[in-house]
């Protein structure tokens, strides 16, 4: 069976790289897309040094033309694309009363506009070919206002949850599913760097019912499931992985 093609934004490090690696291990050809091209190249090379099943793409998610160029490159290089994972995000923890207009705009533009442009460009392409999977990385912060994240980050992730429903409805009749995954605090270097150790310990013990951080590999496994051909009846949903912090 021909390998399907997936592109993951923000794949040079963190959760995006874990997701890209899991898709590659599941048999996909994977484009590691990131604004940090050199880091993306290192990640793609670690997955497949030959470049036959993994490659890096420089992509600024705030630019529609970058998404269009990535789409065209995948069609030219690997004959098409079936999966987009919108993961790239700016994660800041600035207290709400200290957020400047410029910082607010940067976070919203990267996180929310980036997801919108990815869904718009690739959604149209996948709809034209009659099949595809879009998976958007939302967050617990977009559901409960955040536990340690900034207001701009939480607001952008809430917007991603709504965009997911809008694009799911728009593309449902064209063989394209659109889902969101909403992780809580993950056991990632970025989380440990953003939250001081004493505050992180308090968060784990006082706010997370299961008393531990989430496993990025499990989130990646869920993305692989939502990207699969047999996931055609799952669309417009937000899949919660938050250790019991937010239940609905």
List C-alpha distances in Å: 143 to 155, 207, 231, 235: 9, 15, 24, 18
Instruction: Say which of 28, 32, 131, 153 is annotated catalytic.
Output: 153
Place of tokens 């009659």: 130
Taking a C-beta distance cutoff of 8 angstroms, is the pair 241, 222 a contact? yes
Q: Which two tokens stand for residue 190?
A: 């970025």
Whether 153 is catalytic: yes
Q: Using N-to-C axis directions, what is the helix angle for 14-25 and 216-227, rounded to 10°?
A: 50
**Among candidate residues 184, 192, 120, 197, the one with its CA nearest the CA of residue 154:** 184
Can you tell me the distance from the alpha carbon of 183 to that of 185, in angstroms, rounded to the nearest whole number? Answer: 7
Radius of gyration of the chain (CA): 17
**Among candidate residues 91, 66, 74, the one with its CA nearest the CA of residue 16:** 91
Catalytic positions are 153
């Amino acid at each position: 069976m021909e390998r399907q093609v997936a592109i993951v934004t923000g794949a040079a490090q963190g959760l995006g790289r874990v997701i890209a690696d899991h898709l590659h291990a599941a048999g996909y050809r994977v484009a590691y897309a990131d604004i940090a091209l050199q880091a993306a190249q290192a990640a793609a090379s670690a997955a497949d040094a030959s470049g036959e099943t993994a490659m890096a793409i420089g992509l600024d998610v705030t630019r529609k033309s970058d998404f269009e160029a990535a789409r065209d490159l995948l069609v030219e290089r690997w004959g098409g694309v079936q999966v987009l994972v919108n993961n790239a995000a700016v994660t800041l923890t600035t207290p709400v009363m200290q957020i400047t207009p410029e910082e607010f705009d940067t976070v919203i533009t990267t996180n929310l506009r980036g997801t919108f442009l990815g869904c718009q460009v690739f959604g149209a392409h996948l709809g034209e070919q009659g099949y595809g999977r879009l998976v958007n990385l939302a967050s617990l912060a977009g559901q409960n206002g955040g536990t340690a994240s900034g207001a701009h980050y939480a607001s952008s992730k809430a917007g991603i949850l709504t965009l997911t429903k809008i694009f799911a409805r728009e593309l449902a009749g064209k063989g394209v599913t659109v889902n969101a995954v909403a992780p809580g605090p993950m056991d990632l270097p970025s989380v440990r760097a953003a939250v001081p150790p004493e505050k992180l310990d308090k968060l784990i013990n006082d706010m997370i019912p299961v008393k531990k951080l989430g496993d990025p590999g499990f989130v990646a496994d869920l993305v692989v499931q939502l990207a699969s051909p047999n996931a055609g009846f799952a669309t417009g949903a937000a899949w919660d992985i938050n250790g019991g912090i937010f239940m609905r």
